Amino acid sequence: SLANMVKPDYVYFENSSSNPYLIRRIEELNKTANGNVEAKVVCFYRRRDISSTLIALADKHAREIEEEMENPEMVDLPEKLKHQLRHRELFLSRQLESLPATHIRGKCSVTLLNETESLKSYLEREDFFFYSLVYDPQQKTLLADKGEIRVGNRYQADITDLLKEGEEDGRDQSKLETKVWEAHNPLTDKQIDQFLVVARSVGTFARALDCSSSVRQPSLHMSAAAASRDITLFHAMDTLHKNIYDISKAISALVPQGGPVLCRDEMEEWSASEANLFEEALEKYGKDFTDIQQDFLPWKSLTSIIEYYYMWKTTDRYVQQKRLKAAEAESKLKQVYIPNYNKPNPNQISVNNVKAGVVNGTGAPGQSPGAGRACESCYTTQSYQWYSWGPPNMQCRLCASCWTYWKKYGGLKMPTRLDGERPGPNRSNMSPHGLPARSSGSPKFAMKTRQAFYLHTTKLTRIARRLCREILRPWHAARHPYLPINSAAIKAECTARLPEASQSPLVLKQAVRKPLEAVLRYLETHPRPPKPDPVKSVSSVLSSLTPAKAAPVINNGSPTILGKRSYEQHNGVDGNMKKRLLMPSRGTKPEPPAQREVLPHQSAPDPGGLPAPSQAAADELDRCPG
């Protein structure tokens, strides 16, 4: 069929069974010595192929285009369509490579971003992509494409209203244009032609007198041919017009006091080596004159290069090259037939000897670990074929429709948790303990975390803490962390006190801490009184025998210590007492533990937070099976 006939066009190439297709533009098709067909292609890159730094530059460029277009369409576009639109953006490159034609998997279309076209139109067309930036894979840079389509309000002129019959617009035409030739002049055509012959003769003689011209045009007929170019004739007609079509005055102007006038254009100004460089650059870059100037002819102006190009197209050299290229194109392949690729993909999940319910995602006993999971992109559980996708440890899979989308467009239809945008359909981002779960696989697919940082205090800040202690009040600030601190006032006061303080250095108070042996001896000589055993009621014994649901632990510490004790029990009197016992004040003897009032057994709370079971409850637990 015609769909299988591939000629120099945009196509999909497959170089990996699991990765998306490569998008390439075929420049030419060549037949190798062993009979295989190879395609010389231009590379296009997707967003996923370039670094995040360049992606940020591309997004900035896209926002600038949106602002210039003043198109509110992107603002109103749903997030899902914005996500899919990123998959249609490509980056052109100058890189060429050769790929076997057997790896072609279909055709596509790539166009330069058209500012007058709706962005949604790219999504409405299948296999349709756009580009606006050029990517250099060697230099890792992004540049705006020079061949932009200059259509829109920025480039089109505002047309004024049509003047009525006999109406004047009030403009002085003599200031808007300059007359360079008078059609109704007193000279005849024969007299004008004779004057032009004289001008050519003067130009030939001028080249004989000029040293640089005699080197470039060594023979007489070459000098005469150069003197017959348009620039000599234009100068002659300008001279005739300026001298009010007086031939004698015009001839005198052609040969002034210093010698004959020499007029040379770009074809004559350029040397043979510069002409060869230009042809080489034109072969590589085409009509991208800015790149030609930057990489091959930086000493030439852009105007000079463009002018030379249009003059070069009138030479025999251009005609010979055009004929040579046409002959080469005749010998090359015009198109090649690519049969349909029907081989099964290695990522295809096997459905041999599996019931239909398993294929449709309902699951069955003894099925593979990935079976029964929903599609990672669209969350569907029904598909005639499934494909494994992503890292193997995550056991993700795609339905047939989303797999085709992945291969063509290099992404998923919906933002996935691997992008850090939404949780997946088959697992939660929270562990059973209520903590964020990290994947054990590749860091690329792990959950995104916040960037770690630390605050490095400068020496001046540390000095200000001591010099301005009464203003800063560090203990008060520590107890009230949400009250703002006037850092400007502290800085100003520190600057005023610093010269005086530098004369008397600060004396730091040495902290006297007791050795660990002394603390241990104190604990041995002051043991804690034994805990009273509270008597439990029958109802509490029965409730302890009844299995209850485990409440979820919401703290990050040990569930047996922090999870079962209240804030008052953990940080109240007991906590302060332990702190006073273990950390005695500097220079003073440790105080004895405070006496606490012992309540009756029925109401005495257990400091540990867990009631001690009675003997009856223990006997009842021993009789329970299991």
* Segment holding 25, helix H or strand E: strand 22-31
| Same-domain check for residues 382 and 278 | no
As for how many domains the chain has, the answer is: 5
Answer whether 485's CB lies under 8 Å from 472's CB.
Answer: yes
Count of Cβ atoms closer than 10 Å to residue 204 Cβ: 21
| Same-domain check for residues 63 and 108 | yes
Answer whether 195's CB lies under 8 Å from 247's CB.
Answer: yes
The pLDDT value recorded for residue 195 is 92
Answer whether 337's CB lies under 8 Å from 4's CB.
Answer: yes
Q: Could you say which DSSP state residue 445 is in?
A: G
The pLDDT value recorded for residue 580 is 44
Residue 38 lies in a domain: yes
Question: Residue 277, SS3?
Answer: helix
| Same-domain check for residues 25 and 74 | yes
Residue 622 lies in a domain: no
Domain final residue pick, 364, 385, 416: 416
Domain final residue pick, 203, 230, 264: 264
> Domain span at residue 486?
459-503
Has residue 409 got a pLDDT over 90? yes
| Same-domain check for residues 243 and 279 | no
Residue 149 lies in a domain: no
Q: Which residues touch 385 (CB under 8 Å, ≥6 apart)?
A: 348, 349, 351, 399, 400, 403
Answer whether 297's CB lies under 8 Å from 308's CB.
Answer: no
Q: Is the pTM of this model over 0.75?
A: no
| Same-domain check for residues 56 and 134 | yes
Kindly report the CA angle at 306 between 266 and 197, in degrees rounded to 5?
35
| Same-domain check for residues 78 and 204 | no
Between CA 564 and CA 387 the distance in angstroms is 47
| Same-domain check for residues 244 and 293 | no
| Same-domain check for residues 245 and 330 | no
Rounded to the nearest 10 degrees, the angle between the axes of helix 487-501 and helix 459-467 is 80
Residue 170 lies in a domain: no
- Model confidence pLDDT, tens digit, residues 423-437: 455 544 444 344 444
Residue 112 lies in a domain: yes
Residue 42 lies in a domain: yes
Q: What is the CATH number of the domain that holds 79?
A: 2.30.30.490
Lowest mean pLDDT among 154-158, 175-179, 305-309, 527-531: 154-158
Domain final residue pick, 475, 503, 531: 503
Residue 91 lies in a domain: yes
- Model confidence pLDDT, tens digit, residues 599-622: 444 444 444 444 444 454 445 444
Q: What is the CATH number of the domain that holds 327?
A: 1.10.10.60
| Same-domain check for residues 199 and 101 | no
| Same-domain check for residues 252 and 311 | no
The pLDDT value recorded for residue 351 is 60
- pLDDT-derived band at 198 (thresholds 50, 70, 90) equals very high
Q: Which residues of 356-394 are buried (b: 16+ CB within 10 A; e: fewer)?
A: eebbebeeeeeeeebbbbbbbbbeeeebeebbbbbeeeb
Has residue 313 got a pLDDT over 60? yes
Q: What is the CATH number of the domain that holds 411?
A: 3.30.50
Alpha helices in 538-572 (DSSP H): 538-545, 567-571
| Same-domain check for residues 96 and 212 | no
Between CA 107 and CA 547 the distance in angstroms is 65
| Same-domain check for residues 218 and 298 | no
Lowest mean pLDDT among 6-20, 111-125, 144-158: 144-158
**Which one has a higher pLDDT value, 99 or 216?**
99
The pLDDT value recorded for residue 146 is 58
Which pair of tokens denotes residue 178?
């300059």
Q: What percent of the chain lies above the pLDDT cut of 90?
A: 15
Between CA 444 and CA 427 the distance in angstroms is 18
Residue 395 lies in a domain: yes
